[in-house]
């Protein structure tokens, strides 16, 4: 295997690309990789399922997460397994993302209003 493939919108384990799903601590959502004992927070109140859970579930999830390290996940895509090459790929990915966001911000800064038919 010479690459790591991430197919999840919310990112993947930096070691293998996949994840073992998510868990909630109250309204905060965490994606986990149980193989490597790592997790990353993807946001809060994105999914309503946390409201169907109770304090016992959140306490158990929080206890599990205490033993997990927080990491920055790999974004969706195909990445090198070589750490140096992957660092370069990620730097380029972030540069392109910043460029895209800057173009988007400029479009609205000059007064352009999107044509939304509603």
DSSP tally for the chain: helices H, then strands E? 2, 6
Report CA torsion sign: 6, 12, 15, 20.
Answer: negative
Predicted local confidence at residue 33, as pLDDT:
97
Give the residue extent of every domain in the chain.
Answer: 3-81
What's the whole-model pTM score?
Answer: 0.80
Predicted local confidence at residue 118, as pLDDT:
45
Predicted local confidence at residue 78, as pLDDT:
96
Per-residue pLDDT tens listing for the chain (118 residues): 689 999 999 999 999 999 999 999 999 999 999 999 999 999 999 999 999 999 999 999 999 999 999 999 999 999 999 999 999 999 999 999 999 888 876 665 555 555 555 4
Q: Which among 59, 1, 61, 56 is positioned nearest to 30, based on CA atoms? A: 61
Whole-Å CA distances, 35 to 32, 38, 69, 90, 92: 9, 8, 12, 23, 28
The residues with which 28 forms a beta bridge, in sequence order, are 25, 44
Predicted local confidence at residue 111, as pLDDT:
56
Predicted local confidence at residue 108, as pLDDT:
59
Distance in angstroms (rounded) separating the CA atoms of residues 40 and 70: 6
Predicted local confidence at residue 117, as pLDDT:
52
């Amino acid at each position: 295997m010479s690459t790591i493939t991430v197919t999840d919108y919310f990112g993947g384990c930096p070691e293998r690309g996949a994840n073992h799903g998510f868990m909630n601590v109250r309204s905060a959502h965490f994606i986990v990789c149980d193989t490597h004992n790592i997790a990353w927070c993807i946001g809060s109140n994105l999914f309503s399922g946390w409201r169907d859970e109770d304090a016992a579930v959140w306490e158990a999830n929080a206890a599990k997460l205490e033993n997990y390290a927080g990491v920055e996940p790999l974004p969706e895509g195909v990445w090198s397994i070589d750490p140096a090459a992957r660092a370069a790929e990620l730097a380029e990915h972030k540069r392109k993302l910043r460029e895209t966001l800057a173009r988007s911000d400029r479009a609205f800064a000059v007064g352009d209003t999107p044509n939304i038919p509603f």
